[in-house]
Structure 1
Amino acid sequence: MNPLLAAEQAVLGSVLLDPDQLSHLDWLAPDHFYRPVHRALFAALRKLRNDGHPALAEKSVPLSWVTDAVDEAGLHVRGLTTTYTHTLTSACPRPAHAPVYGRMVLEGAIHRSITEHAIRLHQAARADALRGEVEGALHYADVLTGVLNDLAQRWGTEPRPVAPAAPPATAPVSPPPVRTERVAEDEQFLLAVLTEQPKAMHEVVGWLRPRDFADPTHGQLYRCLGALHHRGEPIDRITLLWEAQRRGLLADGTLSGEQLTAICDGVGPGSADWLGQLVLRSSVTRTAATSARAIRALAENEALAPGRLINHALHALGPLDEVRTRWQSANGRPTPPPTGSVPSPNGPPSAQVRAALARSTPRPISPPAARPSSAPSPAAVPPPSRSHG
């Protein structure tokens, strides 16, 4: 039997056998159940409890507790019968283990929820890349961050970015085919403008980085331009070619003189700021897609514990937070406040404590003063560096 299905049945069976177990499952929500019939039945049982069902005051559980729950759940889902409740009660080895069964259900929900939101972020990033926008990807990134913080509170852990021991195996992310050629043209045009108009480097050097270029060769050329600009040396196609040679780009075959000539020839007037924003906008959607794929790969690893999954997912969103900050700087927009929850100086909220105790052996809670200081919010990003190294 599927372990998740067994856990869902065991939770419901324990509550049907012992209504008092609901008091130990306040951190578990109906949406955490995978099967719709289980979701509806758990919601019905909680509603009966909140409405003060007579079964809560009796020593032995009356049949009405089961029949009323089935009737209430039947208003929202089809196919639930009283006969199925016998299957649920038979699937529960010990009603007192309800919090442990609930932990298993929550663990499955965490993996499932993060997977679903990662897919939505990836779809939004691809759609934005096609439309030449970034708003959809950034919105779903905020949604995913909020989901991760909520799940961390329910699981009883402090949300903080933690790098995985080994990066998840994901296929390389390529931009949509209809935009690949256009992105390459924008990058070449920007490099040509910066080569022919060296003063234009001041317009982009504060927020554009070599890694923002989709073509690695273009990124290396921009790095060379940045190095010349940083040293205050003249910039033209000859000095750029010389800098590329000094960095070994000609020797290792990354670049040829003919390629550089092709990039610089035929340039007309252009705005470096506008072209730089096109390149950075493409970088935002590519980074969002990469982060989404990494998070999905993490979530699909069933052996990864929920706390580690949440913190690894927050770490995977770090590059997107960094490029978003530079995008906002390029557009003259103030950086918004962190979207993540701010850790309390007095320790985690009571909901986290209850969730943690529900999935482990209760231990004495140390005084607030004895707790270690919390890590900074995952959404906090250092100001962009002007280095091109």
Structure 2
Amino acid sequence: MRPLLQAEQAVLGAVLLDPGQLPRLSAWLRPGHFYRPHHAALYAALLKLHAAGHPGATPQPSAPATRDMKAGTWPATPTAGSDQRLAWMDAAIAEANSTEVRGLTAVYLHTLIAACPRPAHAPVYGRMVLEGAIHRTVAAHATRLHQMARADTLRGSAEDTLRYVRVLLDVLSDLARRWGTDSRPVAPPTPLPQPAAAHQPPVSEKLLADEEYLLAVLTAHPDALGDLVGWLRPEDFAETGHGRIYRCLGALHHRGEPIDEVTVLWEAQRRGALADGTLTAEDVLRLCDSKSAAGIADYLGEQVVRASLVRTAADAARQVRALADDESLAPGRLIGYAFHVLSPLEDIRRRWRAATGAPEAASATPRAPQPTARVPSSRADAARARSRPHPPPSPNARSSAPSPVSSARSSRRSPS
């Protein structure tokens, strides 16, 4: 049995055995956090019954059963507490089966109860369920971002990609708040593996043609470089050799030197582009042929930046999905690493907006994640606890003891 399934059964069994555990869970654990639909429906039913004040949710203490000393047996009549417990379970089954989920039985509820070692550990079991939900949520939204980027590549647009990058960032911020960690980028200790070339989407012939023609236009009209160098970067080009030539053009423009096929070829040689095999002299002369170049450099540059934005988003989505698939990664680190992977998109988005002159749209553009103002109080809840709760301090020591929030801040060095 997977640990996640065991955790879901354990937390539900704990609540069925001890409904008093629900207030410790309801503030941060939602039905949607459960992987199995039957578990989500049952947890939603228990929350509803508890909120409605079902008698079984707050069982009254009853007098302990006494043994008949003459007969040597215990009374067969069930106690008031057991009656309430049975009513609590029956009502939970009826409420859960009234939804779209069917098939919950009393037998399965006893299976859930048997899967719970300690009802008092319900918040810890709930934290495990939340961990699984965080991984699944990040994976699902990363997959959706990748799909949007692929669709924008075919359409020649970027708006849907930008919108869903914003959605993913908002989701990560919400998950960080629920888990009690900062919504900020955290660099992983080792570089993340880059997608293999076989998994890279093919670059369209039209984009390559636009890049080649842009280089020819810039060679023929070097003055246009003044408008492009502020928002077009060599790494925006899909073809590495094209980016190397653009870097040469930018260097010549920066130094105020003449620009033509020969000067660009010489600069490419000085920068090692010919020695490392990225380009040949024939490639440079062909790409910088300015005899028939007549076009609008700004428009061609916009297409290059747009394609770079969508391509970078697709690569980032694959990396975030790979992080989410790593079940050994703690939620705090998963969220921080995901923010780190997505952070380069902000620079490309800003440059593309500058190139197109489009206004900033908060609903469609990614914003840099802001650190949370404080650690949420739920961080101190037992659901996030790494150790057993300590007894409350004495009244004399209470005035000098640090607050739970400040203690959590000082003790947490990195997301967990």
TM-score scaled to structure 2, two decimals?
Answer: 0.84
For 2:39 and 2:240, how far apart are their aligned partners in 1? 51
Cα distance, 1:132–1:78 mapped onto 2, change above 3 Å: same
Contact 2:184–2:370 (CA under 8 A) maintained in structure 1: no
Preserved CA contact (<8 Å) 2:228 2:298: yes
Match of 2:144 among 107, 110, 120: 120
Q: Which residue is 1:382 aligned to?
A: none
Moved more, 179-188 or 196-205: 179-188
1:257 matched to 2:281? The reply is yes
Equivalent residue, structure 2, for 1:387: none
Q: Is the 8 A contact 2:148 2:160 kept in 1?
A: yes
Distance change in 2, residues 1:303/1:371 (3 Å) = closer
Q: What is the alpha-carbon distance in structure 2 between the residues aligned to residue 7 and residue 57 of structure 1?
A: 24
The structure 2 residue matched to 1:350, chosen from 367, 373, 377, is 377
Deviation of 1:260 (Å): 1.5
Equivalent residue number for residue 115 of structure 2: 91
Indicate whether 1:220 and 2:258 are aligned.
Answer: no
Paired residue secondary structure (2:204) = helix
Is 2:357 aligned against 1:332? Answer: yes
Q: 1:142 aligns with which of 156, 166, 171?
A: 166
- 5+ long unaligned stretches in structure 2: 61-80, 391-401
Whose Rg is larger? Answer: 2
Cross-structure match for 1:38:
39
CA distance in structure 2 between the aligned counterparts of 1:202 and 1:276, rounded to whole angstroms: 12
Out of 403, 410, 413, which is 1:365 matched to? 403
- Following superposition, the deviation at residue 268 of structure 1 comes to 2.9
Output the amino acid matched with 2:98. L
Please give the alpha-carbon distance, in whole angstroms, between the structure 1 residues aligned to 2:184 and 2:389. 23
1:335–1:9 Cα change, 3 Å: same
CA distance in structure 1 between the aligned counterparts of 2:171 and 2:231, rounded to whole angstroms = 29
Q: Partners in 1 of 2:257 and 2:316 — Cα distance?
A: 37
SS in 1 for 2:284: helix
Instruction: Specify the alignment match of 1:308 in structure 2.
Output: 333
Matched, 1:65 2:112: no
TM-score normalised by the chain length of structure 1: 0.89
Once residues 352 and 68 of structure 1 are traced to their aligned partners in structure 2, the CA distance between those partners, rounded to angstroms, is 32
| Structure 2 SS opposite 1:245 | helix
Structure 1 residue 245: deviation in Å?
1.0
Q: Of residues 295, 306, 311 in structure 2, which corresponds to 1:286? A: 311
Q: What's 2:217 paired with?
A: 193
User: Conserved in 2, the CA contact under 8 Å of 1:28 and 1:102?
Assistant: yes
Shift of 1:156: 1.2
Q: CA RMSD in A?
A: 2.3
Query: 1:64-101 deviations in whole A, cap 9, x for unaligned?
Result: 11111111111220121121101000000100000110
Q: Which amino acid aligns with 2:33?
A: H
In structure 1, the residue matched to 2:270 is 246
Q: What amino acid does structure 2 have at the position aligned with 1:19? A: P
Secondary structure of the residue that 1:62 maps to in structure 2?
helix
Question: Paired residue for 2:11?
Answer: 11
Cα displacement string for residues 338-380 of structure 1 (whole angstroms, at most 9, x for unaligned residues): 3645522xx22334444774555457535769957x99xxxxx
Contact 1:129 1:176 in 2 (8 A): no
Q: Residue by residue, what CA displacement relative to the aligned partner does 1:249-280 show, whole Å, maximum 9, x if unpaired?
A: 12222211211222133633111100000000
Moved more, 262-271 or 224-233: 262-271
**CA-to-aligned-CA distance 1:42-66 (integer Å, 9 cap, x gap):** 1111111111111233233521111
1:182 Cα shift? 1.4
Q: How far 1:335 sits from its partner (Å)?
A: 4.6
- What is the letter of the counterpart of residue 15 of structure 1? V
Q: What are structure 1's unaligned runs of at least 5 residues?
A: 376-389
Cα 1:350–1:367 change in 2 (3 A) is closer
Distance, in Å, in 1 between the alignment partners of 2:134 and 2:29 is 11
* Kept in 1: contact 2:15–2:119 (CA 8 A): yes
Query: How much does 1:183 deviate?
Result: 1.3
Preserved contact between residue 154 and residue 355 of structure 1 (Cα < 8 Å) = no
Residue 272 of structure 1 is matched in structure 2 by 297
AA in 2 matched with 1:206: G
Q: Is the 8 A contact 2:260 2:288 kept in 1?
A: no
How far apart, CA to CA, are the structure 1 residues paired with 2:55 and 2:87? 9
Tell me the number of residue pairs that the alignment of Structure 1 and Structure 2 aligns. Answer: 371
1:90-143 superposed Cα distances (whole Å, 9 cap, x missing partner): 000100000110111111111111111111011111110011011111111111
Given the alignment, which residue of 277, 293, 297 partners 2:322? 297
| Aligned mates of 1:218, 1:45 — CA distance in 2 | 61
Structure 2 residue aligned with 1:20: 20
Cα distance between partner residues in 2 of 1:309 and 1:55: 39
Amino acid in structure 1 at the alignment position of 2:372: P
TM-superposed CA distance for 1:223, in Å, is: 0.7
| Whole-angstrom distance in 1 between the partners of 2:116 and 2:217 | 70
Identity over the aligned pairs, expressed in percent? 57
| Greater than 6 Å deviation, 4+ residue runs | none
